Structure 1
Amino acid sequence: MTMALSLQEWMQSQAQHVESMLLRHLPARTPSTNAAPQASLDTLHTAMHYAVLDGGKRIRPLLVYAVAPLSATAPLQAFDHAAVAVELIHAYSLVHDDLPCMDNDILRRGKPTVHVRFGEALALLAGDALQTLAFDVLSQTPLPPAQVVTLLQTLAQASGAAGMCGGQAIDLGSVGSQLERATLESMHCLKTGALLRASVRLGAICADLNAAQQTSLDVYASALGLAFQVVDDILDVEADTATLGKTAGKDAAQEKPTYVSLLGLSAAKTLASALREEGRTALQTLAQDLPNTERLAQLLDYVVQRTH
């Protein structure tokens, strides 16, 4: 089918939409008073807004919305709740990753990181509050209870020790080490890939797709998730700080294992291209049963071809 909007137009439109949805669910910012308790609470709310709004590619919500055309009956509000929830988890993870006890970074999305702007204690609390807000939002998804429970389990498993946090733990323990390729892949499938796969799965649950359809989407999402990290490793070497909006060359400076350090730059680019083909093949299988996979294919191309 011919799509009315180009990818860039669609991404811009959906990013603006999810920004409005995020603003709707974030706690309201009220004028600070002289009363210390209220002023402190308002600072926390301000830090949450700072961490979430006005920046980022919104890849995870875009993946949720890209699944929506696969269903003609699922309520669009369900995809809104899933998109907001997964982006809140992503935002919280960035706030915590940037802390001095983790990656100790001072720049994120082209502006000072949350702990630089608000202090470490408020950054920690803002991240905690964003994480819990994600599950509050997801619990209110307008779907049957069984589907809502599956949504909650999916996001929880992707975010915790069996997913993103587990991958981050491996990453922290691998500084200065040369990992085998299988271990590096396992780490990134958890650290980065789990939440990207969950974004697609959340969309598939909202769309009430069957098991075979969800399997094809999961193969696609796994390829996209790993490709995202491979390209991140490439950009850490090739791009500059102004383009990335975060500190370039950080992985090498911190002696972190990456696909570039393990395989070399050329082989890492070859791997990204191979993962793109793997994801496209999965979508071709899905398209035999369901139309309207174009946005998913375009997002895969975008992830592999992006420059920041």
Structure 2
Amino acid sequence: MNDPVSIQLKAWATRVEHKLEHFLGQNSGLEPRLADAMRYALFNGGKRIRPALVYMSGELCGATPEQTDRAAAAIEAIHCYSLVHDDLPAMDDDDLRRGKPTCHIAFDEATAILAGDALQCFAFELLSNEADLSDAAGARRALRMMRVLANASGMHGMVAGQAYDLTHVGDALTLAQLEQMHRHKTGRLIEAALLLGAEAADADTQTLDRLALYGQLIGLAFQVQDDLLDVEGDTVTLGKPQGSDQAQSKPTYPALLGLEGAHEKLNELHREAVACLAPFGSAAQPLIALADYIVTRDH
């Protein structure tokens, strides 16, 4: 695809991948196999939506890419760790991720677990960069950013959503329960990406609140589209088995609302996300374009 948003996403993806390789190269550690598994998990063809949101939010608020590089790399490390653990036999038990063997298949289960653990630690190491801690303002900024990422990742965020998902496989969830699960499992990291970019620019509270709301809305939209693609997509394009959610009796928007209802929900979330960016004017156009991309992507 050569549309502007795809070109920009590719540019941000290339940048964060170069930064990840650089930062990881400084931390190869004691065991090369562990570093190899971490690299396998990080460089496995992801869309890099979360790093792009960090860069775009930072740009909107006045931060340079150099000021948001570490945050972009950190949130991708957290995201990739979560995928490694999500694919494990004790979790979703998936053999494919982005068209390639999952980390525990390519290496082994123990190495995959440790690689995920190490990627999580790596993320917070990136945010606690010594150069950012050299003055009081930088230290406060780094602390705020670490708190944003920790809160979005752990027992109040993504991990809570994953636990809820596993606990309720096969259950008949209400729409409110389904949304709460996905606000945590998928939405919290997307919201955190926007907050990290804004925090790098020392954005004010009103700006943070608007970007958080946008993140919540597109986070849900991202999940609704994922659920729809599991029904309407194909394995080759998706890079994972089509129909895996239905096969595992996972709660999804199409299962609860039907295909037509899920598409209506997706369009509603998209409209609300775009509307909450109105106060930013034309400066928010990249984020609007990204919302368009999220609801029309095919993988």
Residue in structure 2 matching 1:93, options 71, 82, 86: 82
Which residue does 1:186 correspond to in 2?
180
2:54 to 57, 64, 70: 64
List runs of 5+ in structure 1 lacking aligned partners.
31-36
Give the match for residue 43 of structure 2: 53
CA contact (8 A) 2:58 2:64 kept: no
Q: Is the 8 A contact 2:59 2:65 kept in 1?
A: no
- Tell me the alpha carbon deviations over residues 258-304 of structure 1, each in whole angstroms, 9 at most, x when there is no partner: 001000011101100110000000011333xxx52111111111101
| Correspondence for 1:44 | 34
Root-mean-square deviation over aligned CA pairs: 1.7
SS in structure 2 at match of 1:178: coil
Tell me the alpha carbon deviations over residues 63-120 of structure 1, each in whole angstroms, 9 at most, x when there is no partner.
0111122233x34322101100000000000000000000000000110000001000
Aligned letter for 1:19? E
Instruction: Give distance in 2, aligned partners of 1:27 and 1:178.
Output: 46
Change in Cα spacing, 1:28 to 1:248, as seen in structure 2 (3 Å) is farther
- Which residue does 1:304 correspond to in 2? 295
| 1:238-266 deviation digits (Å, cap 9, x = unpaired) | 11111101121111000011001000011
Partner of 2:166: 172
Q: Which moved more, 1:132-141 or 1:267-276?
A: 132-141
The equivalent residue for 2:108 is: 119
Q: Percent identity?
A: 47
Question: Partner of 1:11 in structure 2?
Answer: 9
Q: Where in structure 2 are the equivalents of 1:240-255 lying within 5 Å? A: 240-255=234-249
Cα distance in 2 between the residues matched to 1:29 and 1:277: 43
Q: Tell me, what secondary structure is at the counterpart of 1:144?
A: helix
Letter in structure 1 aligned against 2:242: A
Query: Which stretch of the first structure deviates more once superposed, 160-169 or 60-69?
Result: 60-69
Query: Does structure 1 residue 294 correspond to structure 2 residue 294?
Result: no
Query: 1:140-289 maps to which residues of 2 (within 5 A)?
Result: 140=129, 142=132, 144-287=138-281
Which consecutive segments of 4 or more residues in structure 1 shift more than 6 A? none
Distance in 2, matches of 1:10 and 1:175, equals 37
Which amino acid counterpart does residue 82 of structure 2 have in structure 1? S
Matched residue, 1:33:
none
Q: What is the total number of aligned residue pairs between the two structures? A: 292
Q: The residue matched to 2:38 in structure 1 has which SS?
A: helix
The secondary structure found in structure 2 opposite 1:162 is coil
Q: Name the amino acid aligned to 1:303.
A: I
Partner of 2:99: 110
Residue pair 1:95, 1:124 contacting (<8 A) in 2 also: yes
Higher helix share: 2
Letter in 2 for 1:268: A
Q: Distance in 1 between matches of 2:27 and 2:179?
A: 41
Check if 1:133 corresponds to 2:131: no
Determine helix, strand or coil for the equivalent of 2:276: helix
Distance across 2 between alignment mates of 1:251 and 1:11:
27
Q: Tell me the residue number matched to 2:67.
A: 78
* Residue type at the aligned position of 1:137: L
TM-score by length of 2: 0.94
Cα contact 1:51–1:95 (8 A) shared by 2? yes
TM-score, normalised via structure 1 length:
0.91
CA distance in 2, matches of 1:68, 1:160: 24
Taking the aligned partners of 2:44 and 2:67, their CA distance within structure 1 comes to 23
Shift of 1:60: 0.2
Deviates further, 233-242 or 140-149: 140-149
Unaligned runs of 5+ in 2: none
